[in-house]
Amino acid sequence: MAYMENYQEKRVDPGKLVPGTKTVVSVLLNYYPEEIQRHKDTPVISKYAYGRDYHFTVREKLKELFGFIKKNIYPELEGRWFTDSAPVLDRVWAVRAGLGWIGKNGNLISKKWGSFVFIGELMLNVEIDDEPPEIKNACGNCTRCIDACPTGAIVKPGVIDGGRCISYLTIEHKGNIPEEFNGKFRNRVFGCDICQDVCPWNSKLTSTTEPDFKPSERFLNLTSEQMMEMRESDFNEMFHESPLKRTGYNGFRRNILFLKKN
């Protein structure tokens, strides 16, 4: 993902992204679903895409939080809010804020919420005197995520080969999926949670209470046949505010056909 190399100065210095920034407030929002797709043979969609696109929901909540701080604490407040939508080191700021650590699969892991969380930030022009707790890496000697990755995308602890990651290949990758990945997708059609599903820190999670992330009955009951036969109009109607819009109908069809071929 070449775009990750862009705007490095802004990534490491929030003041270059939002002039006047003195404080970064980092937040997490749990998206772990209460129920997963019901038919075992149905191509698997990543849990983060079960409901409404998180960009909309998290931004709305950050805007509300910004307004609350401005109204009740700092009337002079200025700043911006982000969630995976600008050159921001989301996981690094979350670690600095004491929200968790970066696991061997590259995901932020919280002792309370695991890794099924969205990250958001407020960049503010006020200086907040705070000493967040330092959260030590608690992965220990565990290598479950590395061992479970079917494409070998986790090349070593904390280092991910994006070009081998199923999430990248099913969402960001353009063109045909390389033949070397035949039979390695484990029925994943959009994104991949394999390295998260095996993580011990995700073994006893509380389900999200956010209505926007609650999947519809229609989604939960999707069958393999229905996915295969889905027309573009059906796709647009079901996923009109979904993260699946990222890959679009053509990308979705490409992924379905790749799974069928394998």
Q: Could you tell me which residues come within 8 angstroms of residue 99 by beta carbon, excluding any fewer than 6 positions away?
A: 26, 28, 108, 110, 135
**Token pair recorded at residue 150:** 């079917």
* CA distances, 21 to each of 11, 80, 254 (Å): 13, 9, 43
Question: What is the structure's pLDDT at 6?
Answer: 62
Question: What is the structure's pLDDT at 86?
Answer: 81
Question: What is the structure's pLDDT at 129?
Answer: 82
pLDDT at 85 over 90: no
Question: What is the structure's pLDDT at 7?
Answer: 59
What's the predicted TM-score (pTM) here? 0.94
Averaged pLDDT, 191-204: 98
Question: What is the structure's pLDDT at 33?
Answer: 98
Partners of 80 in the β-ladder: 123
Region for residue 102 given its phi and psi (left: phi exceeds 0; alpha: psi -120 to 50; beta: otherwise): beta
Active-site residues, by number, are: 84
pLDDT at 4 over 70: no
The residue type of 252 is F
List of E strands, 12-156: 23-30, 44-45, 79-82, 101-102, 108-109, 117-124, 154-156
Partners of 81 in the β-ladder: 122
Share the mean pLDDT of the chain. Answer: 95
Q: What are phi and psi for residue 198, nearest 5 degrees?
A: -90, -5
Averaged pLDDT, 95-102: 97
Which residue bears the tokens 């990651």?
A: 165
pLDDT, tens digit, 9 for 90 and up, residues 215-262: 999 999 999 999 999 999 999 999 999 999 999 999 999 999 999 998
pLDDT, tens digit, 9 for 90 and up, residues 153-182: 999 999 999 999 999 999 999 999 999 999
pLDDT, tens digit, 9 for 90 and up, residues 122-139: 999 999 888 888 899 999
The residue type of 57 is T
pLDDT, tens digit, 9 for 90 and up, residues 24-56: 999 999 999 999 999 999 999 999 999 999 999
Question: What is the structure's pLDDT at 11?
Answer: 76
* CA distances, 9 to each of 87, 92, 93, 97, 162 (Å): 9, 15, 15, 21, 22
Question: Both ends of the chain: CA-CA distance in Å?
Answer: 26
Question: What is the structure's pLDDT at 177?
Answer: 97
Taking only Cα atoms into account, the Rg of the chain, rounded to an integer number of angstroms, comes to: 19
Torsion sign over Cα 154, 157, 160, 166 = positive
Share of residues in the chain with pLDDT > 90 (%): 90
